[in-house]
Amino acid sequence: MADTSIYQSPLSQRYASREMQALFSNDKKFKTWRRLWIALAQAEQELGLDISDEQIAELIAHQDDINYDVAQEREKIVRHDVMSHVYAYGQQCPSAKGIIHLGATSCYVGDNTDLIIMHEALELVKKKLVNVLAALEKFALEYKDLPCLAFTHFQPAQPTTVGKRAALWAHDLLMDYEEIEYLLDHKKLLGQKGTTGTQASFMELFEGDTEKVKEIDRLICEKLGYDACFPVSGQTYSRKYDTRVLHALVGIAQSAHKFSNDIRLLQHMKEIEEPFEKGQIGSSAMAYKRNPMRSERMAALANYVICDALNPALTASTQWFERTLDDSANKRISMAEAFLAIDGILDLYLNITDGLVVYPKVIEADLLRELPFMATENIMMDAVKAGGDRQELHEAIRVHSMEAGKHVKEEGKPNDLIDLIAADPKFNMTKEQILEVMDPKNFVGRAPQQTEEFFKDYVDPVLAQNKADLGLHADINV
């Protein structure tokens, strides 16, 4: 049980998965530091420095058994986290002690580790994103032909289909996927650039051999599974990169928030509901309520991520020359929490989409209540074909529409526009003939075809590319 006497982050307790939390854990951070020290020693050995195989073997042997107690005690003395862990590693590796961190500055382990963790976190985000896309595709294709009332300005508008609306949600996420893919396709490490980015200490180590100093960056990248380093830097990689990463996460937050808005509005209308478990309580006071708490939580976390984007932007814009340390405390909070929140958002998105409940009869009733107003153009054209005068019919429809609107809004009665038109001899149409014109499928345009084409042409290739990652289902903690 967690210590209940101190603050615990809700992102860890309630929202983010263990998989994402593990990426931002101390174990992941400090084990990656040691991977980087090993890669540095190996590269330096390959380039001719006096480092033995035994020293490297000793470093590898203790890569994962971090002596935290030694590091913590040392940091109380030296007030420097990196040098505390260099000391602790050296206590475990006495023969290699003198070559740990050789020529490096703190940002060698700090910045490279941050980049590695962010890129692995982006891979997890991408994995969850494609699973949400797969769930949306399943839902959209199932309901691609189900007509529903569409809205512009949240006012009734020309009908669409339930599946086409889901395609809009998926399209937003597809754009987010493309941003994540770009970041991963162009990922880079800092490499080993030294205290001001000039690699001066390595020029000293390698006695001015520029080619060897350039080669050490390539070797470090290769050993860590990267193709490239940032071409230039100060002591740190440009903090604008963090802004770029967080903006990709903000894109997901925007998409999720929009989805959550739509679901909450649809649940209010009783057309579509998010999952509601058997023992779930919607309200402490009103037992009958089915509050859309998953969608509301998604919106709340999305707001947090969107606001969080200011942090790396402010950090990047206020760095001085080759670096200042005011990025450190902010960066370790804002970047980690953005990923934890997005992880929670995507789990909610997948959980909701997996269990959406659709009420076709309510959808049909809502549509038919408004459809008479939207069908008047088609009715008028059929009446003209039957011999009516277009101008007279237009005026008659205007009058009847005003009358029907009055009945609905002022008297609370059902929409009787069809009855008014059928009773008007100018139209020369029976109610049955008018109702034939009003088949909702006549008013959705290419919505079913658009839905099929979008998923076939744009989403399916993404799902095929990520086939090994499909099959996720998300349970929410609370």
Residue 24 pLDDT: 97
- Please give the model's pTM, rounded to 2 decimal places: 0.91
Residue 277 pLDDT: 59
CB 126 within 8 A of CB 181: yes
At the topology level of CATH, where does 376-437 sit? Answer: Ribonucleotide Reductase Protein R1; domain 1 (1.10.40)
Total residues belonging to the chain: 478
Residue 284 pLDDT: 45
| pLDDT (tens digit per residue) in 54-66 | 999 999 999 999 9
Report the C-alpha gap between 352 and 294 in whole angstroms: 7
Residue 289 pLDDT: 53
Residue 370 pLDDT: 86
User: Where in the sequence numbering do the catalytic residues fall?
Assistant: 153, 283
- Blockwise average pLDDT, block size 10, the chain, 478 residues: 83 93 97 98 97 98 96 94 96 97 95 98 98 98 97 93 98 98 98 94 95 96 96 95 98 98 97 75 51 94 97 94 90 96 98 95 92 81 85 89 87 87 87 84 94 98 98 85
Q: Which residue has the tokens 């903006």?
A: 247
Second-level CATH architecture of 15-99:
Orthogonal Bundle (1.10)
Report the C-alpha gap between 342 and 40 in whole angstroms: 33
Report residue 30 as tokens. 């400090």
In terms of Cα–Cα distance, which of 376, 389, 380, 383 is closest to 415? 376
**Axis crossing angle, helix 68-78 with helix 81-92, rounded to the nearest 10:** 140
β-strand partners of 229:
189
CATH code for 106-184+239-278+288-358? 1.20.200.10
The domain locations on the chain are: 15-99, 106-184+239-278+288-358, 376-437
Residue 287 pLDDT: 44
Residue 320 pLDDT: 94
In terms of Cα–Cα distance, which of 343, 321, 256 is closest to 295? 256
Residue 401 pLDDT: 86
Give a three-class secondary structure readout of the chain: CCCCCCCCCHHHHHHCCHHHHHHCCHHHHHHHHHHHHHHHHHHHHHCCCCCCHHHHHHHHHCCCCCCHHHHHHHHHHHCCHHHHHHHHHHHHCCCCHHHCCCCCCHHHHHHHHHHHHHHHHHHHHHHHHHHHHHHHHHHHHHCCCCEEEEEECCEEEEEEEHHHHHHHHHHHHHHHHHHHHHHHHCCCECCCCCCCCCCHHHHHHCCCCHHHHHHHHHHHHHHCCCCCECCCCCCCCCCHHHHHHHHHHHHHHHHHHHHHHHHHHHHHCCCEECCCCCCCCCCCCCCCCCCCHHHHHHHHHHHHHHHHCHHHHHHHHCCCCCCCHHHHHHHHHHHHHHHHHHHHHHHHHHHHHHCCEECHHHHHHHHHHHHHHHCHHHHHHHHHHCCCCHHHHHHHHHHHHHHHHHHHHCCCCCCCHHHHHHCCCCCCCCHHHHHHHCCHHHHCCCHHHHHHHHHHHHHHHHHHHCHHHCCCCCCCCC
